[in-house]
Amino acid sequence: MKCFITSWRRISTALIAQRYNGGGDINYAKKLDYALSVIRKGKVALCAQ
């Protein structure tokens, strides 16, 4: 039996937040958008200590 991929689901930060946000953070998609924008710019995000 052969299996084929017939289509791809578009991935987005909203979809990731919907599926993997077990903690229920309503701002999770916005946080992912910010993190992705920082990664795309190639900058380092510093965390407050």
pLDDT of residue 39: 87
- Whole-model pTM? 0.63
Residue 47 CA to residue 30 CA, distance in Å, equals 17
Residue 1 inside a domain? The answer is: no
pLDDT of residue 12: 92
Residue 18 inside a domain? The answer is: yes
Residue 24 inside a domain? The answer is: yes
pLDDT of residue 27: 93
Name the residue range of residue 19's domain: 9-41
Domain count, the chain: 1
Residue 22 inside a domain? The answer is: yes
Q: What does the pLDDT look like over 6-46, one tens digit per residue? A: 888 888 999 999 999 878 899 999 999 999 998 888 866 67
Residue 17 inside a domain? The answer is: yes
pLDDT of residue 43: 64
pLDDT of residue 22: 73
DSSP 32: H
Q: Please answer whether residues 32 and 21 qualify as being in contact, where contact means their C-beta atoms are separated by less than 8 angstroms.
A: no
